[in-house]
Structure 1
Amino acid sequence: MTEESHFESTSFELPENYEELKKAAHRKSDWQERLNAVNELGQYNHQPIIDLLTHMMNNDPVYAVQDAAYKQLRGLGQDVQQPSKAKPELFKGLTKTLIRIKKSLPKDHSFEDFKVKLQKMRADIYNTYEGEKGEEFDNWLKAKWESYDTK
């Protein structure tokens, strides 16, 4: 779909489910739900939606969500700059958090035990990095797990 045809097919009214989409856009522990919200919101050319998409483009921790918001904004005729993939640590104190989780497990725990506990204790961290790292998530997390000596 070209930008022009995308713009022509957008609605100038807020969607009936705007409040639901707004909540989904802010759901920290589910990057896929945020991505879906961005794609649906991008069908409506309305200032509150443009503001929300701009916020997501500039602030979402997962690049795929930022990029989708950027593309939707461009499709709505907004003059925006593509977000940068280069980011600092997504969660302040990530190393401390991961070490704390590793230390909370029995000494002979497996990587899978660690992964499950991270997902239960810090779904926000797990989900964000899963979205950010994509297929490399398990390798990245395993390297982190292996690098922490908890003697």
Structure 2
Amino acid sequence: MKQFETTLPEQYEALKKQANYTSSWRDRLEAVKTLSDYKHDKVIDLLKNRMQHDTVHQVQVAAYEALAAFGEDVEKPAPARFDIIKNTDKIFLRVKKSLPKDHTVADFADKLKRMRIDVFDAYEGDKGAEFMNWLEQRWAKL
């Protein structure tokens, strides 16, 4: 059985900040993975929060796996069935309206990234390699 550190990591405050960083799911995932070596109450609370509230399923699962390895009684999170961010269509429409009529999906993606990096990042993390295809479909329907 794996041995865990029971003290807080020296860099806990920085990792906590990174784990809650809304504009980068990759940073959150990295923080969760680093924290998964430390079986401490504060880490467990933080991981439970990521498992239950992260917008990106990959981050939720990494937190779940760490908690399960700690022996916590947790249920594996299911992927979101609907939009992972509330009012996504309203956000997308606002971005689309801010662009010239003849804009491309690439223009749309670029503007979304600048206006709402949190939304762009969450869906990019959630959709993976299918992100641009998914975004183009959503954009075409607006």
Q: Runs of 4+ in structure 1 displaced over 6 angstroms?
A: none
Please list, as runs of the form range in 1=range in 2, the aligned pairs for 1:68-83 lying within 5 A after superposition.
68-83=62-77
Structure-2 separation of matches of 1:74 and 1:97 = 36
> How many angstroms does 1:84 deviate by?
1.0
Report the AA paired with residue 54 of structure 2. D
Structure-2 separation of matches of 1:139 and 1:101 = 18
Of 9, 16, 28, which residue of structure 2 is paired with 1:15?
Answer: 9
Of 74, 79, 83, which residue of structure 2 is paired with 1:85?
Answer: 79
**Aligned residue number for residue 117 of structure 1:** 111
**Aligned residue number for residue 23 of structure 2:** 29
Structure-1 separation of matches of 2:131 and 2:29 = 18
Structure-1 separation of matches of 2:78 and 2:103 = 37
> How many angstroms does 1:69 deviate by?
0.3
TM superposition score normalised by structure 2: 0.96
Aligned-pair identity (%): 46
Count of aligned residue pairs for this structure pair: 142
Report the AA paired with residue 25 of structure 2. W
Structure-1 separation of matches of 2:31 and 2:82 = 25
TM superposition score normalised by structure 1: 0.91
Report the AA paired with residue 57 of structure 1. M
Query: Which blocks of at least 5 consecutive residues in structure 1 are unaligned?
Result: none
Moved more, 121-130 or 90-99: 90-99
Query: Which blocks of at least 5 consecutive residues in structure 2 are unaligned?
Result: none
Larger Rg: 1
Structure 1 residue 63 corresponds to structure 2 residue 57 = yes
Taking only aligned residues, the RMSD between alpha carbons, in angstroms, comes to 0.9
**Aligned residue number for residue 39 of structure 2:** 45
